[in-house]
Amino acid sequence: MKQLLFGVHNHQPIGNFKHVFEHVFNVSYKPFIDVLYDYPDFKFSLHTTGPLWLFFESEHPELIELIREMVARGQVELVISGFYEPVLASIPHRDRVGQINMAMKYIKDRFGITPQGLWLTERVWESEIVPALVESGVKYVMVDDFHFLSAGKRKEELYGYYLTESEGNTLAIFPIDETLRYLVPFREVSQSIDYIKNIPGDLAIIFDDGEKFGAWPGTYEWVYEKKWLQKFVEGIIKSDEIKTLTYTEAMQKFPPFGRIYLPTASYFEMGEWSLPAEGALEFIDFMNILKDKGLFDRYRRFVRGGIWRNFLVKYEESNNLHKKMLFISNLLKDKRSEKMKDSLYKAQCNDAYWHGVFGGLYLPHLRKEIYENLIGVDAKIKTPTYMIDDFNKDGKEEVSLRNKKLRVSVAPHKGGTIYEISHFGFRYNFQDTLARRFEHYHRGITVGDAPQEGVASIHEFKKYIDEKSAKEMVYDKYLRYSLIDHFLPIYVKPDELRYGRYNEMGDFVQGCFAFRRIENGIKMYRTGVLQGEHPLSVRLQKSVILLNDSIEILRRCRGEEPLDHIVALELNLKLESPKVSSNGNLYSIMESDFYMEDSKSIEIVDDVLKCSVLIECEESENIYIYPVLTISQSEGGFDLVYQGSCILFMKRVEKESFKDKVTITFKGGKSNA
């Protein structure tokens, strides 16, 4: 008799749109429970993350009542994670315990049971998390069978569970069967049932995304209208060779296979996604070589890519978000405010920190929610007005400036740029602009319409982009921060700036600046070189000063000979629905560029944030604005996403020295933090 351990994991991230929650509820969460409710003999495990439980409570309490009844009759075992679905390895021990205890308490209070199992977010395993799990009362977790294969186990040894240990604490670990994960629900019911009947062991183990039962492209018709799920459940129940068990029941009935220590890992695909783009391409090429030689299946368990933490290197913006979270966590470690801790825990929701087949980091509304929670806590805790530290943990010092309204963070070693402009009143980071990057999945894309064919896993089908998106597939040479100093040829054209087809004459964009503290701010300075027929030495100074709701930027440069360049200051600001105010009219800058001749100021209005940003530049001659648009993959194909607006203040300089003052003023919103 084979024992089927069937589990589903349901999750929507903090900050996702309510209509997305509602849609997935209607096409996946509700119909799935409706089908299984009618089959009380089919036992399964269910993991629902905190954001979804809160949504169900608010909008669909009837679903919670159904689940409560199914729990009471012994059909459903509820599994937890960190309440707001953090990658546990990425947060401090105290927050791991806090998140898990929060989830434990939620289930105890509403369902009257004590959960035994934990869904490991993105199956990111690092042995250092074991003490927090055991301390919180967790008895078992599930990870991919790939983790076990990487530890040297053979596939036929993975139809049961093992024990691992850390500091003398033991924890049961179940290997999720990848083959079964790809069969369910994408292949005929008979294939899944036949596979389960023929496993070389007792336990057939699956725990996978509930969204693939209805929410993934093409699956609603297949799973519900064509009754795949109903047929599968009935096929299992009618079988004399298969019985369903919960994970806890399996531990009570079967002993562990033995002891195991797993390497740091996630599921196989994560190893590809977390690599730098060029490394990911080489990884794919290597896999293809093994496949061509018929060696991949045999040696796949020894083929590994990167680890989840690589995303903090691959995407500097993700690292900024993560280190801001750690900064806030450290501020709170001795505080007892449950409300502030709840905001911190929300900000640890994993989705906005990385990118794979789903949008993740590329989705501005997810990053916005993380920052909103972090800034909300930051506003309430008093910290110095001037701080120097290696905030980004890159071995170099950054400077964080603060007053009652703003926190502005500066990286002197990265072009003397501003990488955070957090406004406490708006709870918003106006600097949250993502750079345009080459992603490995950009290779070999097809321009045109995708053919309509069959149902496939989101990992299987080919993706297409339209001509408009293809035009925007350009890549930045530097991060999209603010206070970037360009020295450009006098003949440069606006579209050359937008699409990166220009020559940078100076070495200031990514150069290292020395710095010192001044009143309410920081002064930075660098002696660099302008390229040309004769290299020209130039001394550049710039200061950042906080003045209530404003940022004042002072710039001064002096060359050893007269310049003849376009001197441009680049800001990259992110708003929600930005429009340029000009001559009494508003023009959207989310998709189109905008050129303003003989202009020294610009006002950007945002109806969503209920604010305006006024930028005044004393020496500007022309202003050029264009949208920063990225091309990222998602479960439905490729998305063209607005990440922010690049604003360039330009002036031709034909003398030895140049000085300027730029003021950025934020208006509207709440009057105080």
CA distance 240 to 250: 18
Q: Go through the chain and tell me how many residues it has.
A: 673
CA angle, corner 348, sides to 346 and 352, nearest 5? 100
Which residues lie below 8 Å from residue 483, measured CB to CB, with a gap of 6+? Answer: 410, 415, 416, 417, 418, 542, 544, 553, 569, 570, 571
CA distance 264 to 644: 35
Rounded to the nearest 10 degrees, the angle between the axes of helix 338-346 and helix 364-380 is 160
Active site residue 209: yes
521 pairs with which residues across the strands?
518, 545
Determine which one of 165, 209, 507, 619 is catalytic: 209
Helix (H, G, I), strand (E, B) or coil at 110: helix
The strand ranges marked E within 593-672 are 594-597, 601-606, 611-617, 622-634, 637-653, 657-668
Alpha-carbon separation of residue 641 from 71, 496, 631, 644 (angstroms): 42, 21, 7, 9
Cis, peptide link before residue 185, omega less than 30° from 0: yes
The single-letter DSSP state of residue 26 is I
Question: How is the beta sheet containing 536-547 ordered, strand by strand?
Answer: 514-518, 521-530, 536-547, 550-559, 657-668, 611-617, 601-606, 578-582, 585-588
Report residue 434: phi and psi, to 5°.
-90, 135
**First CA to last CA across the chain, in angstroms?**
63
Active site residue 122: yes
CA distance 657 to 443: 46
Determine which one of 77, 85, 95, 122 is catalytic: 122
Helix (H, G, I), strand (E, B) or coil at 338: helix
Helix (H, G, I), strand (E, B) or coil at 571: strand
Residue 560 burial (10 A CB sphere; 0-12, 13-18, 19+):
exposed
Whether residue 78 contacts residue 280, with contact meaning beta carbons closer than 8 Å, is answered with: no
Neighbours of 449 (CB within 10 A): 8
Whether residue 355 contacts residue 286, with contact meaning beta carbons closer than 8 Å, is answered with: no
DSSP string, 573-596: E--SSEEEEETTEEEE-SSS-EEE
Instruction: List active site positions.
Output: 122, 209
